[in-house]
Chain A
Amino acid sequence: MPGCGPCGAYCKPAKQTVATKKKSTVKKPAKPKLKTTKSRSSTGGSGGCCYSKSGCCGSKKKVPAKSTRRSYSYYRDRRNDYSSISESSHSSDCSCSDCSTDGYDSSTDSYTDDSYSTDQSGYLFAGMSSPAPKSPEQSDKSKKYDRQLRLWGDHGQKLLENSKVCLINATALGTEILKSLVLPGIGSFTIVDGEKITEEDIGSNFFLENDSIGLSRAQVATQSLLELNPDVRGDYIDESPDHVMSHTQDFFKNFSVVIATALLKNISSALTELEKNKCRGVILTSTSKSVFSAGLDILEMYKPDPDRTKKFWTTLQETWIKLYGSLYPTVAVINGHAPAGGLNETLLEIVAPHLVYFNDEKCHWSEANRVGINNRSLICNRRGTGIGLIDEVVESKEEGFLSQRPSLTNLQKISPIARGLTKKYVREETIKNMIQARESDLDNFLQFVTNPQVQKSLEIYLESLKKKYLFLYPGTYGMQKFHYWCVSSIGFLGYIRLQLKEHTVIESHPDSENPDLRLDKPWPALRDPIPDENGLKIVEENFEEAIHYVNTCINSPKIPHHVQTILDDDCCINLTQNSSPFWVMCAALQRIGTVRRPCQFERSSITGRGSVPKGVTDSKENLGLPPDVITESEVKLFCKHASELHVIRGSCIADEYQRTSLDLSSYLEDPDSLMFYYVILRGLERFISEFNTYPGQFDDQVEPDVLKLKCIIGKLLAEWSCSHVLRDERVHEVCRYGGAELHSVSAILGGCAAHEVIKLITHQYKPLNNAFFYDAITSNSATFCL
């Protein structure tokens, strides 16, 4: 929004309105009343000053005569005027006469809070941002976003507008997700993608134009997406993701969310960045054309330079340790399924990476080594690594990207981190062993990789990679503490898997406000027949409403169970300096919740006269936190929604793979359960890692692939001690897809994933927990907690 332009444009019509309004309002006997309200102004939040300028210059001008101008920013739906957000777009040099705020506004405004206090509920909620002079007329932005502001409110929008999203690889699903984030107005996005646009891209990706074949996919997608919303900033980097990440130390510094396909090295550097910066999460995504890899880079093993190889292997080791024990949340989106079974390297008769193997099987490196070097049989390593964006790796042979990795000498730095983490996560043993075994592991690897025979098979394998197998790999299951998304669409099958450490939601139902039925004294009003104009007593219509809400009135007055669980949580009881505002407020609530009348708790009005705020202040002081860590508006929001607090802690995808027995029988026996898709996906993963292609990818291989996949799934089920047999037709159908990505199915999943991301950003509504299957054949879906 260019400076004062819009502003000036508004002022003119606005003044006209004012004129008319004045006429019409003359008759109104409102003035005296208003005065009363003025005089009642009391605590009034932080006053209306900070947004007054914007509020006034945007629109408010429409406010008619002053007598009727009430900045009634009461927060019934915690949706106050949007002008408070868009203030920055109105330059301070706006010259419209109404811009000189006259104090009147703020005083009327403070009425807001006062009105709350006169309400039985006491301290209700008065607005996210400080009560500002409220303009009845809205800004351009407010109009544009009107239909969504009615859902997540101005404060949700503000969080959205402050978010910065990074998309790595602008594939069809990637751009579909980004589209539904750009339209509602995220702050900015950056696309990192070194791919050139192909024919297949054009056929599936709406944001690439027909004449752009051969151009940078990042550039074209960025331009197309930017057209969607001029309020969103966007840029791109036409480089392979691993090149960017190995050359730009601070790459993730400014992102709140990263949607990425990354190589092992990228993940490592991303994590390093994450730990340095308060990045909300990383979304790792994979595309059907670019191979996603979190592991071994074959090129690094091919014709190795001993020094380089040493560094390479060290990097691998460190990354795994880091992923295994990192503290920071990551959101990952995998486009395509997330193969985690098997390992390409096994095809090459190369030893599976020990670390990876190790993670999987919980054995020691030394044991892994034993399996090791010259073992020519396929080692079915379900963890590990995939083959990276081979083309890009060739481009990025620079020594640099390895040298940036911490070397062996940094071992000491790493182990304390690892140890600290493992205390909590039962990984101590594992990581210690990993670290101890590093040296010998490295030697073994060097020895192995220089073996001529190994080199020969590498060469052959690299040739085969040129076919660009569709190969997707999550590579992040080791990151058990990360927010992690897996989204895939194969044919008519869609899958979303969320892995997160902890996500807290205050407004799990932002619009489910308890209507003000005067709950403290509901009966007289609802019980007594109300005379209509003719004096007849009519009750039926109100009865309906009363019946509808009767539960709210007669519920046994106690703290809801799910909230009590949160209050009993360790995080709530044992606050630390690192506790998030959510937990600090919970702790405050816990203290007062036990003394105050529980029915008031039900009404979400537990603040009383500042008890939670005081509790929060106390907690902050006790913890030595600066007083502004938690704002008043945060506390108000918390109090308003205290009865619907929600905490999600996810399970680790890695754990799924470590389980030796999955109890799926009960699901699989149910013909209506979609759990069989989970088995199919796991089978697909293993298939791809064993054969390096989707089953059914080639027309003449469909039937043989059906048999192979059946065999793999049979083995999987046996490994899980599951006696159930999957119906052949299910296997057949997924082989028929051959990894095809149908745009409309991707659009469905893109929409779902985008909204889940918005939930994470706005901290509103409950994200899915934690695995979602969508069957586009029947349009059925199911959510499982894996």
Chain B
Amino acid sequence: MVEAQESSQKRWGHLRKVLERPGPFSHPEFEPSSEILDFIMTSCNILVIGAGGLGCELLKDLALMGFKQIHVIDMDTIDLSNLNRQFLFRHKDLGSSKSEVAAAFINKRIVGCQVTPHFCKIQDYDESFYRQFHIIVCGLDSIVARRWINGMLVSLLTYDDGVLDQQTVIPMVDGGTEGFKGNARVILPGMSACVECTLDLYPPQVNYPLCTIANTPRLPEHCIEYVKLILWPKENPFNTTLDGDDSQHISWIYERAVERALQFNIPGVTYRLVQGVVKHIIPAVASTNAVIAGVCATEVFKIATSCCVPLNNYMVFNDVDGIYTYTYEAEKKENCLICSQVPQVIEISDPYKMKLKQLLELLSESTAYQMKSPGLTTIIDGKNKTLYMSTIKSIEERTRDNLTKTLIDLGLKDGQDILVADVTSPSTLVIKLKYLINDVEMN
């Protein structure tokens, strides 16, 4: 026992130096002590979301930074194209759960580390699951999932007379990479900028003008989009929706895209490009993931131990030309949809003309909301009324007619609360309509 302790002391000697000595740049509340290492080893619960390129690195980094109580959640299975960077997986693991294989690997390699895998979607768990963690670190490739977990953590906050109870704050460290670029950020829900506060940072998806695609293609992408958006729906070659993982589908698109390219004398349509466009493939390399995950793990360590002040609060990385980083403080949005206490108001200039369809478009397309398939309900005369919901087929059919009705026709009043449900948030949002014309006559 004593021997084991001694060897553990030796083994973690590096960490002990920064944890058991005072430093001028440590957090004001930092008190050097050997208990800190005990804490991160025995009671600090960390959740890693995503066991992909960043997730594998994160698990390794956290385990070697002394964390032992780690959970990892990922709904994906291992694909051949993961193996160039997701170093916890082998060829024999293809098709297996990422989280399970990654957890087993770490537990085997780093004795004493207890990684618990969860092979499911983050949406499968409720707040009681997420509440158990001290810090949550994300290595996700999906903005929707980021927004969802962000919404979840904000929903865990409690306020006392409008004052945030800091005990309910679960810090979130979020990393993302694309090729040689990456970013890492620290979010203290309710205290610093959250994912929704900075939603406009996410670049809008590239959409080529339809007229260009249809009439004047210039780029190979135009040719591919033409086949994907116009030819496929028209010919419906396999009597199914397009599946980017089905090589027959990709081949079909490839062939027709090449044809179209020939017609317009456009070079550059390759099979790889077709795959990339259809599946929205984001390039990825081991080195960038290593860097960003390293930054995130360092932040988790700093937050858990206070041995240094955490990143404040957003870091951008790029090593195309030399190595470049930029750090800044993303600002909390005063009327953030998710993390502010401010009621959301949508101003409607003319409710007599504004149709429900346009309201939905606003929620989907404005940079402030960027919703995916919002479902709208409201309360009229004390009764719940579903205005529109696309996610459930029977309801969609029943409410479809509402789309073309104006807000007035639907009986919505100035100041009406609209309850909005969307995949981007775990909880229902309340949006208040504000009519800009004064006298709305309701009959």
Contact = CB atoms under 8 A, between A and B. Distances in A.
Whether A and B are associated in the same complex: the answer reads yes
Contacts of B216: 525, 530
Contacts of A754: 286-287, 290
Interface in A203-222: 203-204, 206, 209-210
Contacts of A137: 247, 251, 271
B273 interface: yes
Interface stretch (B80-88, B122-130, B363-371, B409-417): B80-88
A64 B281 CA distance: 24
A229 to B, nearest CB: 7
Interface in A42-74: 62-64, 68, 70, 72-74
Contacts of A118: 265
Interface stretch (B18-26, B335-343, B418-426): B18-26
Contacts of B288: 751, 755
B309 A206 contact: no
A53 B272 CA distance: 20
B101 interface: no
B294 A203 contact: no
Contacts of B273: 76-77, 79
B398 interface: no
B90 A227 contact: yes
A183 B322 contact: no
B285 A151 contact: yes
A502 interface: no
A227 B105 CA distance: 12
B276 A542 contact: no
B320 A781 contact: no
Interface string B294-322: 11011101000000110110010001111
A740 B65 CA distance: 12
A655 interface: no
A765 B180 contact: yes
A74 B320 CA distance: 25
A591 interface: no
B64 A778 contact: no
B325 A780 contact: yes
A33 B15 CA distance: 68
Interface in B207-264: 209-212, 214-216, 218-220, 237, 247-248, 250-252, 254-256, 258-259, 261-263
B270 A79 contact: yes
Interface string B321-355: 11111010000000000000000000000000000
A25 B248 CA distance: 12
Contacts of B275: 146
Contacts of A209: 109
Given A204-B14, A204-B64, A781 B323 contact: yes
Contacts of B81: 143-144, 146-147
A419 B14 CA distance: 47
Given A25-B255, A138-B272, A772-B323, A37 B262 contact: yes
A516 to B, nearest CB: 6
B75 interface: no
A769 interface: yes
Contact of B270 (A33, A74, A179, A183): A74
Contacts of B73: none
Contacts of B269: 72, 74, 76
Given A72-B270, A136-B251, A747 B297 contact: yes
A766 B311 CA distance: 28
Q: How large is the interface on B (under 10, 10 to 19, 20 to 34, 35 or more residues)?
A: 35 or more
B259 A184 contact: no
B323 A81 contact: no
Given A518-B218, A755-B180, A765-B321, A777 B25 contact: yes
Contacts of A362: none
A203 B261 CA distance: 56
A541 interface: yes
Interface string A736-751: 1110111111111111
Interface stretch (B5-13, B382-390, B435-443): B5-13
B273 to A, nearest CB: 7
Interface stretch (A250-258, A302-310, A531-539): A531-539
Contact of B237 (A24, A143, A733): A24
Contacts of A729: 24-25
A115 interface: yes
Nearest to A148: B285
Interface string A201-245: 011101001100000000000000001111000000000000000
A134 B25 CA distance: 58
A134 B324 CA distance: 38
Contact of B215 (A135, A151, A530): A530
B266 interface: yes
A158 interface: no
Contacts of A525: 216, 218
Contact of A742 (B65, B212, B282): B65
A147 B18 contact: no
B268 interface: yes
B209 A742 contact: no
Most buried by A among B61, B212, B256: B61
A699 B65 CA distance: 20
B267 A744 contact: no
Interface string B130-151: 0000000000000000000000
Interface in A566-586: none
B392 interface: no
A751 B291 contact: yes
A230 B320 CA distance: 28
Interface string B54-69: 0001001100110000
A492 B211 contact: no
B255 A743 contact: no
A744 B263 contact: no
Contacts of B111: 210
Given A24-B252, A76-B273, A752 B287 contact: yes
A33 B262 CA distance: 8
Contacts of B393: none
A779 B325 contact: yes
A754 B323 CA distance: 12
Given A200-B13, A745-B298, A230 B272 contact: no
A124 interface: yes
A781 B182 CA distance: 14
A105 to B, nearest CB: 14
Interface string A108-143: 000010011011000010000000001111101001
B283 interface: yes
B10 A492 contact: no
Contact of B283 (A124, A147, A768): A147
B320 A64 contact: no
Contacts of A738: 17, 21
B284 interface: yes
B278 interface: no
A743 B67 CA distance: 12
A421 interface: no
Contacts of B209: 538, 541-542
Contacts of B258: 68, 70, 72
Contacts of A17: 247-248, 251
B23 A732 contact: yes
Given A732-B23, A745-B298, A136 B218 contact: no
Given A137-B251, A206-B64, A740-B14, 8 more contacts: A77-B270, A183-B85, A184-B287, A203-B11, A206-B110, A531-B211, A742-B18, A778-B312
Interface of B: 7, 10-15, 17-18, 20-25, 57, 60-61, 64-65, 80-81, 83-85, 87, 90-91, 109-111, 179-180, 184, 209-212, 214-216, 218-220, 237, 247-248, 250-252, 254-256, 258-259, 261-263, 265-273, 275-276, 281-291, 293-295, 297-299, 301, 308-309, 311-312, 315, 319-325, 327
19 contacts: A33-B263, A64-B251, A73-B270, A116-B267, A144-B84, A151-B179, A184-B287, A203-B12, A210-B111, A491-B18, A509-B320, A531-B211, A696-B17, A746-B294, A751-B294, A754-B286, A755-B319, A765-B319, A779-B311
